[in-house]
Amino acid sequence: MHTDKRDKTDLIIAGFHALSEPLRIRALELLRERELCVCDLCEALGVSQSKLSFHLKALKEAHLVRARQEGRWIYYSVNPPQFALLEKYLHGFSGLSQVSPATPCCD
């Protein structure tokens, strides 16, 4: 499947937006270790299922997590390709310390 530049830009924007919420970061830290069901995430994070579901939906829409249903439970895991895309994007800024400052344009 071909992903054009606009689709990649949208995925990068969605990924960083989803990462801007502390509860989502905490959930990802737990999921970094292993797949977890929503009930285990709620318990570990000390939040209600309705609150966590909102944040998991944002992570899923940003392609940062995958969800699979088993019976009545939904299990979440990280989606490594999306993290690789964000890492590749950030790596493009690794040489910024070598960029010359702009000359003043306005007086």
What are 71-87's pLDDT values in tens digits? 999 999 999 999 999 99
Q: Is the pTM of this model over 0.85?
A: no
- Which pair of tokens denotes residue 91? 């790596």
Tell me, what DSSP letter sits at residue 92? T
- Which parts of the chain have pLDDT scores under 50? 1
Domain 5-88, architecture per CATH? Orthogonal Bundle (1.10)
User: Could you tell me how many residues make up the chain?
Assistant: 107
Q: How high is the mean pLDDT of the chain?
A: 90
**Residue 6's pLDDT is what?**
77
Nearest-Å Rg of the Cα atoms of the chain is 18
Distance between CA atoms of 101 and 59, rounded to whole angstroms?
37
